[in-house]
Chain A
């Protein structure tokens, strides 16, 4: 039995830790060329330490590894002579010393019958040796020359409180000496549970090597005299609060030419307190922050450009010829993914809704059911007036307008006639800026979603622009969408991204899979993770109830505002967790204010990555302000409270013939 041709997925690796140095370099998108707004991603030009913060998959590791010495060397050229390396560093103005906190197994440094103070000092010493060892491995590769190396080693040894060995003659020897000290310390720490003791001799004062060695290097090497030594500490969230305090102290006490760049998840910085002293590091005083995904979200156009280049780089690396030739322009992308014609007069909608001559369309069957008490002839006339056989989307809009306006039964006929006139006028001259045209523009995506659902068709999220929108500033989310789509396309027997458009079916299935992946993988482990998922599900149910209602309260609802302090402590805690884990996206760093009271409000959108799970829109328009009751219902622990709120939403948006559909009781925004 022969296997089908295996098509490698260019989006297979989505995590920077799975990429080697060459791939990190090859897949790097030069953000500086995209826009000034992204200039924060460049290597720091000042000595101010920075915290690179971002959700899982926002690109922290890629950014930090790109600025590491390994990658610098790669950029200077394979086998570049030492003099070129030195010139390169001089030009770059920095040396990146990249370390991963995950590799030190930080949980070893606690308990085992030893006091917290003891562990704090042991960890600080370990950190000193660990960072120093990484620095020395970099210095080794600078090939300073025999004399300089000997001088460096002599001066380095003077930094110890008690010199552990006679001054080594080379950096390699010094590096091995530090590695041996670290190994001894590892041994003592790892065996303290067995021995019941932790006899560690601390040979150097905290910070002496970390800050002292760069100073020595800058003083003896001309090409390093202006260079910044950047300790890039990634996965900071893996350290305990006490351990983070040790690092915070180093940040606070930093001495040039050394500085720090810390990479952490949004929730990864557990404290700003320093060790021992009752001091806290202050933003813009002791450090600055680079909130990666938020910057991407706040600069949509730049992010879209970045994302397209990111995809093009992947394709080029996988030798897809169109992409290998250079950056794909937006027009190039048009043919890559199959789309559907979603203009209001598209045949596509007739195909979805079915031939009305053969069987009455689903939306009119539902309409007849809602107005069952109206007599047959009159109901038939109403259906006739609201029909636009060739244009199912306009029929949907006509019904929406009817449901919104028809409060008293005596008005039904007049309202239907008015809608009929407006509809016919629109069909004659669609370019007129009529209220009808504006309403269509506003409600179109929701009406299309309703049409799909009523007729059992799949909700579609198609094309690269939508995928970029879904990723909401998380490049890994975009790559995951594309990876899933590519897999489905290959499974469907297509030749994805190689001349044939990727089918609607592959896009539909890939997007769903990516959405499920996000829902399952971004959450926190343990009970908090479950609470995040439950709250997100409830929120999505409310938005879905709105989207598929007869009389939606808002257009494309997928965001909400929370007045300051609205909600119980428990609910607000879950809300915070949802934001930390990127299930909710805070729309702006600045809070908005209530129009009437001036009270501050925070606005959140459900992650567009999750939209396909509940058939929600990607773009937002209406933003309802949640009451305290609604905040508690969604983010609190009571299922009953939520069910009550959900029912009240449904009732409010349901058209009930002859019930008045009283706007004063159930206020609805005006229909444009």
Chain B
């Protein structure tokens, strides 16, 4: 086996290439060195925590703003527009005539409302702005969750009804579906009541990224008509589990169990309940606007005087 310098140089080259080609100068060598200095060195390269951290970093999937914008175009084009166009064509004997297709599509789109998952401060809602820009959509197609319903009547006789019963499609957008917890929470408050009041309304849940487990969990809720992601993260994206794509095959000096030990050691201090990411996500994924908590906390946890992140997360405070 070669010395640490050799491996560190190779990894640094890879990280530099990633930065120059896809990460968009989000970090530099100084940031990396500051982050790495929190890990311990070891004369045995297989136990060197800094090499472990660099190895994980060299496999990190970071999506800059341009990439996110492109993915938002893909959501609209591939998950929303194309299926509607197919539906229109089927209803019109397979026509290819744009004079038939386009007006029908615009009519259906006019009976659609796009919503972000979460409250206005969260990433799902944040993405709507870029989603509208990228796809050149009119702003009246976007509503807040509270605008789905309205109260009718007064006093004890007041009841909640669907504000606009002509709306046929409700499209929920989010950046990541990790465990499916958030979609589940929102479906209880919003989707089930909506479906109960307007059984003809279709509700879609579209995300940029989703774990296979997360997608399954949301589909199993049974309230969404379609649940889809642009980029599905299967089990191989759980970086420290057997079958992880970054350790398949294992190549010295990077051994999965040893790297996992390093992540556990620091993760246990940083986020004791979820040392390898929310609900053991173990992801190596970050976005320009935030880093999901399903990603390993060593990358994003920011605790002054205790831990410096490399891809900072703007963590949600849900209150006491």
Q: Which residues of A contact B (CB under 8 A)?
A: 1, 3-6, 456, 487-488, 490-493, 509, 512-513
Contacts and interface: CB of A to CB of B under 8 A. Distances in A.
B9 A490 contact: no
A3 B23 CA distance: 9
B30 interface: yes
A338 to B, nearest CB: 15
Contact of B26 (A4, A488, A509): A4
Contact of A1 (B5, B12, B26, B28): B26
Contact of B24 (A3, A456, A509, A512): A3
Interface in B258-297: 286-291
Given A456-B5, A487-B20, A4 B13 contact: no
Contact of A491 (B9, B16, B287, B288): B16
Contacts of B31: 493
A3 B26 contact: yes
A512 to B, nearest CB: 8
B161 interface: no
Contacts of B20: 487, 491
A509 B8 CA distance: 12
18 contacts: A1-B287, A1-B291, A3-B25, A3-B64, A4-B25, A4-B27, A5-B25, A6-B24, A456-B3, A456-B5, A487-B16, A487-B20, A491-B19, A491-B28, A493-B29, A509-B13, A512-B9, A513-B13
B172 interface: no
Nearest to A489: B29
Contact of B311 (A1, A3, A4, A487): A1
Contacts of B288: 1
A456 B221 CA distance: 60
A456 B27 CA distance: 28
B312 interface: yes
A311 to B, nearest CB: 21
A491 B289 contact: no
A4 B288 CA distance: 12
A513 B27 CA distance: 20
Contacts of B3: 456
Given A456-B5, A487-B16, A1 B29 contact: no
A493 B28 contact: yes
A81 B312 CA distance: 60
A5 B28 CA distance: 10
A404 to B, nearest CB: 30
A408 B234 CA distance: 71
Contacts of B286: 1
Interface string B167-180: 00000000000000
Nearest to A457: B5
A513 B19 CA distance: 16
A356 B68 CA distance: 57
Given A1-B291, A1-B311, A490-B28, 13 more contacts: A1-B286, A1-B287, A1-B290, A3-B26, A6-B25, A456-B3, A456-B5, A487-B16, A488-B16, A493-B28, A493-B29, A509-B9, A509-B12
A6 B20 CA distance: 10
A13 to B, nearest CB: 15
A4 B16 contact: no
Interface in B1-52: 3, 5, 9, 12-13, 16, 19-20, 24-31
A513 B28 CA distance: 18
Contacts of A1: 26, 286-291, 311-312
Contacts of B9: 509, 512
A4 B290 contact: no
A488 B12 CA distance: 10
Contacts of A488: 16
B221 to A, nearest CB: 32
Q: Which among B5, B16, B31 has the highest number of chain A CB atoms within 10 Å?
A: B16
A490 B3 CA distance: 26
A158 B25 CA distance: 63
A94 B278 CA distance: 73
**In the complex, the 4 A-B pairs of residues with the closest C-beta atoms, listed nearest first:** A493-B30, A492-B29, A493-B28, A4-B25
